[in-house]
Amino acid sequence: MDLFLDRSFRVMPPGAIGMATVSVMAIGFMGCAGGGSVTSTAPERDHRTDADMVEWMDHTVEIADTRLRVGVKHDEDWYYIGVLSTQRATVQQIAARGITIWFDPSGEKTKSLGVRYPVGILNASPGGPTSESEMPRETEERMDLLRDSAPLVDLYFEEGKPIRRQLASLAGLEAAYSFEFGAFTMELRIPRSAARSDEFAVPTPMEGMLRVGFATEQAPRPTDEEAGSTLPGARGNSGGFGAVGRDFGGRGAAGPSPLFQGPIDDWVKVLIR
Mean pLDDT of 261-271: 89
Q: How does pLDDT run across 210-259, given as a tens digit for each residue? A: 999 999 987 655 555 544 455 555 666 543 333 333 333 333 333 344 44
State whether residue 265 is helix, strand or coil: strand
Strands 183-191 and 174-180, by their bridges, are antiparallel
User: What are 137-145's contacts with CB under 8 Å, separation 24+?
Assistant: 137/3, 137/229, 138/3, 139/3, 139/4, 139/7, 139/232, 139/245, 142/4, 142/231, 142/232, 143/9, 143/232, 143/234, 143/243, 143/245, 145/121
Report the pLDDT value the prediction gives residue 162, as an integer from 0 to 100: 95
Report the pLDDT value the prediction gives residue 222, as an integer from 0 to 100: 52
Mean pLDDT of 134-143: 79
Report the pLDDT value the prediction gives residue 8, as an integer from 0 to 100: 32
Q: How confident is the model at residue 44 (pLDDT cuts 50, 70, 90)?
A: confident
Query: In this model, does residue 25 exceed pLDDT 80?
Result: no
Strands 78-85 and 100-104, by their bridges, are unpaired
Residues 197 and 138: their CA atoms lie apart, in Å, by: 40
Percent of all residues in the chain with a pLDDT value above 70, rounded to a whole number: 71
Answer whether 187's CB lies under 8 Å from 167's CB.
no
Report the pLDDT value the prediction gives residue 18, as an integer from 0 to 100: 37
Q: How does pLDDT run across 84-116, given as a tens digit for each residue? A: 999 988 988 898 899 999 999 988 899 999 999
Most confident of 5-9, 79-83, 129-133: 79-83
Query: In this model, does residue 199 exceed pLDDT 80?
Result: yes
State whether residue 81 is helix, strand or coil: strand
Partners of 175 in beta bridges: 188
**CA 188 from centre of chain:** 9
- More reliable by pLDDT, 143 or 34: 143
Report the pLDDT value the prediction gives residue 233, as an integer from 0 to 100: 56
- More reliable by pLDDT, 238 or 191: 191
Lowest mean pLDDT among 29-33, 103-107, 187-191, 208-212: 29-33
For the whole model, what pTM was predicted?
A: 0.80
* DSSP run (H or E) holding 178: strand 174-180
